[in-house]
Structure 1
Amino acid sequence: MRSLDPTIAAWKTEATPTNGSYEYRPPICYMSNLIPEVFIFIISLIGLAGNASVIWFLGFRMHRNAFYTYILNLAAADFLLLCLYITVCLIRIFKFTLYIHIFDYGIRQTGASIFYIAGLSMLSAISTECCLSVLWPIWYHCHCPRHTSAIMCALLWVLSVLLSILQWVSCHHLYKLDVDLCGNVAITITAWVLFLFVVLLGSSLVLLGRMLCGSKRNPLTRLYVTILLTVLVFLLCAVPFGVSLFLSYWLYIGFDSEYCLSLVSLVLSSVNSSANPIIYFFVGSFRQRLRGPNLKLVLERALQDTPEEDEGGGSLSQGTLEMSGSRVEQG
């Protein structure tokens, strides 16, 4: 049974028989994989700091509205995924320097699946909700329940955890008892991930088209720019990891090729999970003269759902930030 997790392929070697015994034969790119692993570790540390700042401000320093809740949960998913990457790097160092065997297979596989699916789910949800607020603003403002975003985030987390744990149990503990169960779970997870990709891409294209095309174009806001840039980075950097994480289950390209592809996808995935705070800072500080490193104000500006001309200079009132298209949910 092939693994659904590229972290397994990227941190192991292949055993091959030699003269009746087994020895570990590293794949082609094994000798040069130290560089991408160092990149993963450094990028993950930077991303941890950025996502921790986002979690701190959105979770404890700002009143959360619908979009803030999604961004908070997206930052939490990225933060936990980066923690997993750092843990795997440290485990690898301990294994090769101290010769300590640490059994972490289930933790890495299940954790990677949970946090990747959760992050993709949050991004798809926020893109869809933005699309609804643009296409049917009156219905969205008046009829969408107040705590929809919090409920959706909780359901998406539960679904991500259940699917990942079910895959781990069925493919590694119950495989000998029921061979078909593992395949059915793999089909279910792959179908769900593909569905999220389609929803994310479709809602993002609709949002982009409504902002840039047509006679009834909506004014471009910082929130929409932030979301579109986040989706773009995700499509460029996280899709290869998703393909390697789930779709590679159905395609066998050889161990050496899968190993090298996994290393590249892991680097790109760490870049994606670390890029969102940078996007928030860039969008929030663009064309603004801020007095000092006010990260809270920068984050508020990046998630502002009002047109650029309505900002009213260099200051931003709380009433403006609590946009008309979002319900305020007290954190």
Structure 2
Amino acid sequence: MNTSITDMNDVTQNGRGGTTMPTRDKLHLILRSLTFIIILVGMAGNATVLWLLGCRMRRNAFSVYVLNLAGADFLYLCSSFIRYLINYFGLHSIYVSKYFWPIWIFFYLAGLGILSAISMERCLSVLCPIWYRCRRPRCLSAFLCALLWALSLVLSLVRAYCFLSSNWSWEKCRIIDFFTAAWLIFLFLLLSGSSLAVVFRIFCSSRKFRLTRLYVTVLLTVLVYLLCGLPFGIYLFLLIWIDSFNNNAPTYCILILILLSCVNSCANPIIYFFVGSFRQRRQGQTLKQVLQRALQDTPEEGDSGSSLPQGTLEMSRSGVV
């Protein structure tokens, strides 16, 4: 941070007449420290989910989405971790930022796309259970995940090449910006619309609807994104369309947005293990069993009353995808 007269006004005096760290620098240090701790916790949690779903559990249609979402969150946190190491060793420069922003955009768009696909699948299983049970392609989860990864990669690479290369004109770069922003808005509308439809069906429908742990997991994941992940997406949208926005935005605001985005990537494994262990009093449960219960798409044993529509059971009964 550049020193100035206003920075000197932020310096506080201690009890012995000496000076302490400027208040603004203290705030930046606290935000960076919290972000670094959250990054480490999130990397460990997502790595555990990747290990369990990739090596220890039989994958079904829904767990394929969870596996890819954990991969996107893990890679996003890894890139943030590398960025913090670069800052720690004093290698920060404007060129480093230019290379890291496309990486963050890539993983953020991939994670948002996969989460939108999860929410859309849940919506279809509730609103169209017969079609979902009989007509849903068997490899739809793997196909959608591969397509979302490819689209996110293409958008981020083209945008990075556009702004790092001198061969592209300003008009072409703005076209790329338009497609990136339009894709971001489309994913958010898809996520919010499908989630609202599921919530309306659960709480406002006249027909009795029995919640499963899978529905609770999806709804909590979407809620955490809206609270923590969406502000970073809005910042990316403004950053894309307003060239001077990054220069005019306060530094601590950017740090808070990055902190919230890391919380969003860190919270998903915590949600899985919280939902999987809720109301379970048995001791000695493995992480594999807890994660399996969090992805359970059937009513709890001993529940009475009507169960979920038959189409919603497809996720838990699907074979390996």
Q: Pick from 52, 55, 73: which aligns with 2:50?
A: 55
Q: How does 1:89-128 map to 2 (within 5 A)?
A: 89-95=84-90, 104-128=96-120
| CA positional deviation for 1:34 | 1.5
Q: Pick from 13, 36, 45: which aligns with 1:41?
A: 36
| Code of the aligned partner of 1:104 | V
1:324 aligns with 2:321: no
1:303 aligns with 2:295: yes
What's the counterpart of residue 272 of structure 1?
Answer: 264
Deviations 1:130-177 (A, max 9, x none): 110111111111111100000100000000000000111112214x64
| Code of the aligned partner of 2:85 | L
| Code of the aligned partner of 1:112 | W
Do the aligned residues in 2 keep the contact of 1:65 with 1:326 (CA within 8 Å)? yes
Q: Pick from 162, 172, 175: which aligns with 1:181?
A: 172
Task: Name the CA distance, whole Å, in 1 between partners of 2:59 and 2:303.
Answer: 20
Pair 1:171–1:152, CA change in 2 (3 A): same
Q: Percent identity?
A: 49
1:170 aligns with 2:162: yes
| Code of the aligned partner of 2:170 | V
What's the counterpart of residue 207 of structure 1?
Answer: 198
Q: TM-score, normalised by structure 1?
A: 0.83
Q: Pick from 141, 159, 181: which aligns with 2:151?
A: 159
Q: TM-score, normalised by structure 2?
A: 0.85
User: Could you say what the CA RMSD is over the residues aligned between the two structures, in angstroms?
Assistant: 2.6
Do the aligned residues in 2 keep the contact of 1:141 with 1:326 (CA within 8 Å)? no
Q: Pick from 133, 137, 146: which aligns with 1:145?
A: 137
Deviations 1:47-86 (A, max 9, x none): 1111111111111111111110001100000000010111
Secondary structure at the residue paired with 1:60?
Answer: helix
Unaligned runs of 5+ in 2: 5-22, 305-311
Task: Provide runs of 4+ in structure 1 moved above 2 Å.
Answer: 13-16, 28-32, 99-107, 246-260, 308-312, 322-331
Do the aligned residues in 1 keep the contact of 2:162 with 2:168 (CA within 8 Å)? no
| CA positional deviation for 1:236 | 0.2
Do the aligned residues in 2 keep the contact of 1:29 with 1:256 (CA within 8 Å)? no
| Equivalent residue pairs, number | 296
Pair 1:253–1:14, CA change in 2 (3 A): farther
Do the aligned residues in 2 keep the contact of 1:141 with 1:325 (CA within 8 Å)? no
| CA positional deviation for 1:257 | 2.9
Task: Name the CA distance, whole Å, in 1 between partners of 2:185 and 2:135.
Answer: 29
| Code of the aligned partner of 2:214 | L
Pair 1:244–1:15, CA change in 2 (3 A): farther
Q: Pick from 214, 231, 235: which aligns with 1:244?
A: 235
Pair 1:84–1:215, CA change in 2 (3 A): same
Task: Name the CA distance, whole Å, in 1 between partners of 2:92 and 2:127.
Answer: 57
Do the aligned residues in 2 keep the contact of 1:133 with 1:325 (CA within 8 Å)? no
What's the counterpart of residue 16 of structure 2?
Answer: none
Pair 1:329–1:29, CA change in 2 (3 A): farther
Task: Name the CA distance, whole Å, in 2 between partners of 1:327 and 1:250.
Answer: 45
Relative to its length, the structure with more strand (as a share) is 1
Pair 1:33–1:160, CA change in 2 (3 A): same
Do the aligned residues in 2 keep the contact of 1:77 with 1:116 (CA within 8 Å)? yes
Do the aligned residues in 1 keep the contact of 2:221 with 2:271 (CA within 8 Å)? yes
Unaligned runs of 5+ in 1: 1-12, 17-27, 313-321
What's the counterpart of residue 136 of structure 1?
Answer: 128
Task: Name the CA distance, whole Å, in 2 between partners of 1:310 and 1:137.
Answer: 24
Relative to its length, the structure with more helix (as a share) is 2
Task: Name the CA distance, whole Å, in 2 between partners of 1:217 and 1:59.
Answer: 36
| Code of the aligned partner of 1:328 | S
Pair 1:327–1:149, CA change in 2 (3 A): farther
